[in-house]
Chains A and B, each alone.
Chain A
Amino acid sequence: MAKKLPKVDVVIVGVGWGGGIIASELTKQGLTVVGLERGKERKTEDYFMVHDELRYALRYELMQDLSKETITFRSKMNVRALPMRSYGSFLLGTGLGGAGVHWNGQTFRFLPYDFEIRSKTIERYGAKKIPEGMTIQDWGITYDQLEPYFDKFEKMAGIAGEENPLGGKRSSPYPIPPMRTTPSMQLFADAAKKKNLHPYILPSANLSQAYTNPDGVARAACQYCGFCERFGCEYGAKADPVVTVIPVAKKTGKFEIRTHSHVRRILHTGNKATGVLYTDVTTGEEFEQPADIVVMTSYVFNNTRILLMSKLGKPYDPATGKGVIGKNYAYQVMRGGAVGFFDDREFNNYAGAGSLGMCLDDYNGDNFDHSDLKFIHGANISVTQTGYRPIGTNKVPPGTPSWGKEFKAASIKYTNRFISVGAQGASMPFRQHFLDLDPTYKDAFGDPLIRITYDFVDQDRELAAFCADKCAEIVKEMGANEKLEINRKLGPYDITPYQSTHNTGGVIMGASPDTSAVNNYLQMWDAENVFVVGASSFAHNSGYNPTGTMGALSYRAAEGILKYRKSGGGMLV
């Protein structure tokens, strides 16, 4: 029998960006909040030995322990799903701060087009543009409605940037000036301008200068140390929940964090949650934490999995297209890109920061005409300088063997003589792509793993080829030698190479309970005191990193929770 604890106002499941933002906003307004986090405590002092490529980048020191829990994957419904036994395609966060500790900090706003993608696509190209099975829908919110929350997230995190010439309207400039411009960024900008494109410095959550945010949190400037993505920042210069929102919540005295607390179920009677059931993983003891409001912030996979295991909301059925929990799983198309090799100059490729880069949106969203193209949406195209480390980076010109004398010579020669121009391709949802509970494989508690059914489709292949050509044109213009590596061909989706940790969907937002799981405050249509926060709410994935948009939606959800609390219940929309 689970031990029943005293009731609190709000219980939060998972303390990463989503959980941290919700906690800070609610505790500032006087609510008592308990945050349950399955992983351990984290602090800046942990990172004194962090510049260790093997331990952090290749052995995944900061990521979820897959021996306890993973996902299963199949390309389509008539294939047997099998567990992701070791890491590849994406890396799951755990511990205080979640993946926010080891992210890069590239902080974009999705485009106005994204939030009304269905209406705008039909308006410009007609309904025929949307192929059979593509389940894009409007998000139930517009960019303009979401703008104040983007602004809030950016000011909290201290985003360094310059205005995107092709982005949505901003109510105020970025709080701090952009990151510095490296030679490769300058080459990219010059090449892009020659082609009449609109380059801008990538918006960054690595601080370009010391910054004090509206909550009074002061942080130091980024040192361009080159150990950022997959690492924690020993300077606190990378915005992460542990150095921003979590201390603010803690300072109120209203936020209690319980680490090593693995949540297994949302408890509910009828359509109202009463609390959550969790296990203290250090003792094996079970607890019931009653609460007036339950907030799910356990990332895309566990937000969906815990709802399904708790039998809350209607599970998605791909046969009928009905039901919502697990619907519209989407990912990203990272393949279309080009690598240029430079014989006559060297770059300081070892230096860099997670969100140091130059990019453009001329081929993103609906910023270009798709009339004659066999895909919709597009990609942000960029050159980034995140710090190339020696184990992970051994770029050689096409045709070079992958080991032996020739490999050694080429990998050493080109380590500081290559530039990669990449495209972060949008990912559209399809009826046959979804999340559900695996019938066979279990986690360490005997609960079913989440199962992904997903593959790349023609839309993705067309998009990748298009982007690869654009990237190749730019890198050629930048002065690369003849031997380019151009990644035009997108094979089937493969779980083994790292692509991005930009998984989306499963508990999507929208205007109607028939087609979405949560409203535009991320309040569940089927359980008014449950809020499900994260990129799980994205109805599709854009050609950008997700956290800027996910952070904005978290602020929106926090406002909704406070409203809900004040009004004493009911649906907010």
Chain B
Amino acid sequence: MAEANNTNERPVSRRNFLKNSGLVLGGLVVGGVAGSLLRRPETPAQPAAPPPATDYNQALMFFTPEQFKVVDAACERIFPEDELGPGAKALGAAYFIDHQLAGDWGFNAREYMQAPFYPGEITQGYQGRLKRREIFDIGIQEMNNYSNSTHGKRFYELPPEQQDAVLKAFETDEVKLTTISASTFFNLLRASTIEGVYADPLYGGNKNMDGWKMKNFPGNQMTYTQLIDKPEFVKMAPLSLRDHQH
């Protein structure tokens, strides 16, 4: 397994890359490379700042602290810490979900939410009138209710095995809910946990790109021409969108 050679170098910014790689062509260009941005003056390289002590991103936009505890605990069971590395909790997945629910996605803003609403066939997709933030409100409450009635405690107070049993009961629709199906909520929770683990850290999850590091995903690189046809696996330190923000 070869280590990439760029681990100790300064990350290559998009603008520098375009400039140095000969991708800027002569007067012929009609379409193509983002020329106008290349002509902007360079900002001098900044010395690397020490990591901030406080992560100001880790505050709640949507969940109540109680809701957050439930989601944080559930995410961790979906993607637990183990010998491979951090779990969803340490990666900030629940903060990610909180922030997502506060915006467009939580309001289903770019989805068709016009009436009339009819129950459809499974193959017709989601047909409910509830938005994602409402589904989370209900789902979280029901997870606590179910935990209380089966184990006498709130979800996040249960030991891991019992938490898994609760999640399983939601996943398989063993829990019967009235407004949504338990599995609809579970699938949403699972999918957004994975997003929180692996989305660019700018969204509040995947802290320190540690999700990517576990998977050997290099994040946001400018080019792979140097390795695309090589037989060996190439590991490299990941770059985030932040690395291009200068």
Interface residues, chain A, with chain B CB atoms under 8 Å away: 43-45, 47-49, 51-54, 58-60, 65-67, 70, 73-75, 79-80, 82-86, 88, 180-183, 210, 212, 215-221, 223-227, 234-236, 242-244, 246-248, 251, 345-348, 350-352, 356, 389-391, 394, 402-405, 407-409, 411-412, 415-416, 440-442, 492-496
Contact = CB atoms under 8 A, between A and B. Distances in A.
Contact of A225 (B37, B125, B171, B222): B222
A248 B28 CA distance: 12
B199 A53 contact: yes
B31 A242 contact: yes
Nearest to A222: B225
Interface residue SS majority, chain B: loop
A101 to B, nearest CB: 12
A178 to B, nearest CB: 12
Given A220-B33, A391-B195, A416-B216, 8 more contacts: A45-B34, A74-B124, A216-B30, A217-B31, A217-B32, A227-B220, A236-B33, A404-B77
A402 B189 CA distance: 12
Interface of B: 1, 14, 18, 23, 25-26, 28-34, 36-37, 77-80, 82, 84, 87, 104-105, 108-114, 116, 118, 120-127, 164, 167, 171, 190, 193-195, 197-200, 202-203, 211-212, 214-225, 227-231, 233-234, 241, 244
Chain B CB within 10 A, most for which of A54, A59, A70, A404: A54
A442 B115 CA distance: 10
Nearest to B82: A405
Contacts of B198: 53, 389-391
19 contacts: A43-B34, A48-B34, A67-B111, A85-B108, A85-B125, A183-B231, A217-B32, A225-B224, A347-B233, A350-B218, A352-B228, A389-B217, A391-B199, A394-B194, A403-B77, A403-B193, A405-B82, A411-B215, A412-B84
Contact of B36 (A45, A54, A58): A45
A351 B218 CA distance: 9
Contacts of B164: 404
A12 to B, nearest CB: 19
Contacts of A215: 30
A356 B203 CA distance: 30
Contacts, number: 223
Contacts of B121: 75, 79
A67 B233 CA distance: 43
A234 B31 CA distance: 11
Contact of B112 (A67, A223, A356, A391): A67
Nearest to B214: A412
A209 to B, nearest CB: 11
Contacts of B14: 48, 234
Chain B CB within 10 A, most for which of A221, A348, A442, A494: A348
A303 to B, nearest CB: 20
Given A217-B31, A225-B223, A235-B33, A415 B126 contact: no
A182 B228 contact: yes
